[in-house]
Amino acid sequence: MIAGAGELAGRVSVAFIFSRIIGLNAIFYAPPAAWLLADIPLAVIFIIQSRKMKQKLKKQPTEYVQAVKSD
């Protein structure tokens, strides 16, 4: 949800703001810029979740390994 909103905001902002500066080429730069803006919150969420997972593994490593082996 957050990534979709970031992508939409990126497309609109690049298309409107940079089209006045660069011209028509700004419309072609809008999708890659939108993808990058959409990736920023995803990267932050990934980093936070991976740190939480590392902390859980330090506390209970045997329970996690047993759960993985049973799957």
Contact, 6 vs 31, CB < 8 A?
A: no
Rounded to whole angstroms, the Cα distance separating 69 from 71 reads 5
pLDDT score, position 47 = 95
- The structure tokens 């209970």 sit at 60
Q: Is a pLDDT exceeding 80 seen at residue 25?
A: yes
Element (H, E) at 24: none
Q: Is a pLDDT exceeding 70 seen at residue 34?
A: yes
pLDDT score, position 51 = 92
pTM value is: 0.60
pLDDT score, position 48 = 95
- Strand boundaries in 10-68, DSSP class E: none
Confidence band, pLDDT 50/70/90 cuts, at residue 49: very high
